[in-house]
Structure 1
Amino acid sequence: MSLKSRSPFLLIAPFFLWGTAMVAMKGVIPNTTPFFMAGVRLLPAGILVLLAAIWMKRSQPQGWAAWLWISFFALVDGALFQGFLAQGLVRTGAGLGSVMIDSQPLAVALMALWLFGEKIGVWGWLGLAIGVCGISLLGLPEEFILSAGSRLGEAFVDIGSFADLLAGLFDNGQWLMLLAALSMAVGTILSRYVCQYADPISATGWHMILGGLPLFGLSSQLETDQWTNLSAANWVSLSYSTIFGSAIAYGLFFYFAASGSLTSLSSLTFLTPVFALLFGNLFLAEVLSPIQWIGVALTLISIYLINQRDVLSGSISESIEEVQGNIAENRQMLPQADSNLSEITTISDSNLDR
């Protein structure tokens, strides 16, 4: 079943849940440790997904190939993605971090083009470019955006300034967010291979369980006071992030990724910072600036262009074919018109002779 036949509410649900889970986690981060938080987001959620798969009577993985792919999937999309994300959240602002995370549709599009031959087209590339601009306006510091022109102008004159500009972007853990984005992109591609050997829901549950184990192992060796400072509200936020932001969101996402266009599905990731900012405004009184509202608009435009790229290309092709048909028809009519003109001229000459 293609993505177009899915309910739009179900398709958007994972990104809505991820965005709201980010808001829920903002108050938890100062009171816990990164690897512990990442493990809590994965392992209990994986158990819930696996129980749901058993209740739905979904088949369990069979054979060494299935378990090999699931283990690789767990390492990349589970342990590495959640580990880099948790460590990055400690070291960087949520805005710039979300820009790094939500750049992964570009990597997914390129890998899907190379591995699966997915057609992106002019409208798809345009949508991806607009989406990157949109999330940049949403997440980059406003003063950085406003001063980017002058700073880039100086950078072209002074190579050292250009190096300083790039270094400034990757300070405070942004590179960890970039690694998290690349891990998620590779995980999205891997899910297509995993689902060739195992049921997508069962595989999602097992990959979250296997991916969570090393995170708890790292936490036990490298961290202390993981839950000492957590309040009741923090546990509620962790529970929401685990059940809704991980179990349900990842179950839906990788179920959809098993069939349909990975480029179209991954492009919806651009919605995550939109939901995070909107609900941050609602619950945390975070106010959106005019530049961020422009980013929201560009993000929605990009998603429309990417997911409607085939329709737009088809409409333009039909219009071009119609114009070409009209031109060809007019060309066919020209000889007849010349003949009629010649006949009229002959009749006119005959009348003048008379």
Structure 2
Amino acid sequence: MSRLSDVLFTALAPLVWGSTYVVTTELLPAGYPITASALRALPAGLLLLLIVRRLPDGEWWWKSALLGAFNFTIFWIALFVSAYRLPGGVAATVGAVQPLIVIVLARVFMGQPIRALAVIGGAAGMAGVALLVLTPHAKLDAIGVIAGLVGAVSMAFGTVLSRHWQPPVSPLTVTAWQLTAGGIMLVPIALVFEPALPPLTLNNWLGFLWLGLVGGAFTYIVWFRGIAKLGPTAVSPIGFLSPLVAVIIGWVVLGQQLSALQMLGMAAVLVSVWVSQMAQAQKPAPPEVTAAKA
């Protein structure tokens, strides 16, 4: 596949993640965010393990556990704390700092150069997300902001280390290991902090199946493949498409209003993704050649 094809294929993941809000609010029982996260991760991870029939070995036991914690356990819990403590727009905007964190971590762990165009793309994406989801009456909450930053840092570490360590297995196997590890860690937290689920309706089952099989297993196979093919600094800004799709679904499915500022935000998000990909496609400047002295 060409680089453009890899980018477009990777974009399927955040496009699907954009449906998470409407699926959660319209199909899942309310008030069980950590339980829903565990049910999204663990069954999908176990199903993929049955398919690949391969467990980690050696150092990949602790690496898979750490990546599962970064990409799922810590990230999802911080995401829900942020969402509960902050208006949705503020939570999404705080989380949108993640691509900028990825740029710094990729420099630290992988020695990748910090390109000005990539920073501009990340900042434009944050601005676009803010225009998409912020409201004039949004209020800040210190715990919510901290949780949002913890989630962004956690996902950034998971994204960079997934590429830096690069296990010698397929994205399918990587996804199986991480989803299972993250789900196992989520289960006891859900049991401690949330009550038991009520009897599930057909809509509840459909919602869990969508989030687990499509929004979990499929999308993370695509996402980890993208990280391996394109690198973390190219893949992370593609995640800006998720809030864009969420706003479009809210407009089409839920009848929510779409303002001129939100349309401007959509344009800013698309431009930021394009600029970020252009930055990663840049070739490094050749080293200067110093003339030898006679």
| TM-score > 0.5 by shorter chain | yes
Aligned CA distance change for structure 1 residues 226 and 172 (closer, same or farther; 3 Å): farther
Matches within 5 A, 1:223-234: 223-228=194-199, 230-234=200-204
**What is the CA–CA distance in structure 1 between the aligned matches of 2:7 and 2:57, rounded to whole Å?**
35
**What is the CA–CA distance in structure 2 between the aligned matches of 1:122 and 1:174, rounded to whole Å?**
26
Aligned CA distance change for structure 1 residues 297 and 5 (closer, same or farther; 3 Å): closer
Q: Is the 8 A contact 2:28 2:208 kept in 1?
A: no
State the superposition RMSD in angstroms: 2.4
**What is the CA–CA distance in structure 1 between the aligned matches of 2:135 and 2:128, rounded to whole Å?**
13
Aligned CA distance change for structure 1 residues 133 and 291 (closer, same or farther; 3 Å): same
**What is the CA–CA distance in structure 1 between the aligned matches of 2:75 and 2:102, rounded to whole Å?**
15
| CA deviation after TM superposition for structure 1 residue 189, in Å | 1.3
Q: Is the 8 A contact 2:37 2:183 kept in 1?
A: yes
**What is the CA–CA distance in structure 1 between the aligned matches of 2:85 and 2:135, rounded to whole Å?**
16
In the alignment, which residue of structure 2 is the partner of 1:31?
30
1:201 paired residue among 145, 163, 172: 172
| CA deviation after TM superposition for structure 1 residue 77, in Å | 1.7
Is 1:306 the counterpart of 2:276? The answer is yes
Q: Is the 8 A contact 1:281 1:288 kept in 2?
A: yes
Aligned CA distance change for structure 1 residues 194 and 22 (closer, same or farther; 3 Å): farther
2:90 paired residue among 86, 93, 96: 96
Amino acid at match of 1:274: L
1:274-331 alpha-carbon deviations (Å, 9 max, x no partner): 01110111111122211111111111111111101266x67xx9xxxxxxxxxxxxxx
**What is the CA–CA distance in structure 1 between the aligned matches of 2:65 and 2:240, rounded to whole Å?**
28
Matches within 5 A, 1:1-354: 4=3, 6-28=5-27, 31-54=30-53, 60-143=54-137, 168-171=139-142, 173-228=144-199, 230-309=200-279
Amino acid at match of 1:268: I
**What is the CA–CA distance in structure 1 between the aligned matches of 2:96 and 2:28, rounded to whole Å?**
20
Q: Is the 8 A contact 2:162 2:224 kept in 1?
A: yes
Secondary structure of the residue aligned to 2:253 is helix
**What is the CA–CA distance in structure 2 between the aligned matches of 1:31 and 1:126, rounded to whole Å?**
38
**What is the CA–CA distance in structure 2 between the aligned matches of 1:287 and 1:40, rounded to whole Å?**
32
Higher-Rg structure is 1
Secondary structure of the residue aligned to 1:284 is coil
Q: Is the 8 A contact 1:34 1:90 kept in 2?
A: no
Aligned CA distance change for structure 1 residues 28 and 170 (closer, same or farther; 3 Å): farther
| CA deviation after TM superposition for structure 1 residue 95, in Å | 2.5
In the alignment, which residue of structure 2 is the partner of 1:335?
none
| CA deviation after TM superposition for structure 1 residue 28, in Å | 5.0
**What is the CA–CA distance in structure 2 between the aligned matches of 1:135 and 1:234, rounded to whole Å?**
29
Secondary structure of the residue aligned to 1:169 is coil
| CA deviation after TM superposition for structure 1 residue 233, in Å | 1.8
**What is the CA–CA distance in structure 1 between the aligned matches of 2:127 and 2:48, rounded to whole Å?**
35
Stretches of structure 2 that go unaligned for 5 or more consecutive residues are 286-294
**What is the CA–CA distance in structure 1 between the aligned matches of 2:176 and 2:164, rounded to whole Å?**
16
Q: Is the 8 A contact 1:108 1:262 kept in 2?
A: yes
| CA deviation after TM superposition for structure 1 residue 255, in Å | 1.6
| CA deviation after TM superposition for structure 1 residue 8, in Å | 4.4
| CA deviation after TM superposition for structure 1 residue 142, in Å | 3.3
**What is the CA–CA distance in structure 2 between the aligned matches of 1:237 and 1:214, rounded to whole Å?**
22
Percent of matched pairs sharing the same residue: 26
| CA deviation after TM superposition for structure 1 residue 133, in Å | 1.0
Secondary structure of the residue aligned to 2:229 is coil
More helix by share: 1
| CA deviation after TM superposition for structure 1 residue 136, in Å | 1.3
**What is the CA–CA distance in structure 1 between the aligned matches of 2:81 and 2:197, rounded to whole Å?**
14
Amino acid at match of 2:76: Q
List, as ranges, runs of 4+ consecutive aligned residues in structure 1 with deviation greater than 4 Å.
none
Aligned CA distance change for structure 1 residues 210 and 309 (closer, same or farther; 3 Å): closer
- Taking structure 2 as the reference length, the TM-score comes to 0.87
Aligned CA distance change for structure 1 residues 32 and 310 (closer, same or farther; 3 Å): closer
Q: Is the 8 A contact 1:108 1:263 kept in 2?
A: yes
- Taking structure 1 as the reference length, the TM-score comes to 0.73
| CA deviation after TM superposition for structure 1 residue 172, in Å | 7.0
Q: Is the 8 A contact 1:118 1:261 kept in 2?
A: no
Aligned CA distance change for structure 1 residues 196 and 219 (closer, same or farther; 3 Å): closer
Aligned CA distance change for structure 1 residues 21 and 310 (closer, same or farther; 3 Å): closer
Q: Number of residues paired by the alignment?
A: 284
Amino acid at match of 1:280: G
Q: Is the 8 A contact 1:88 1:97 kept in 2?
A: yes
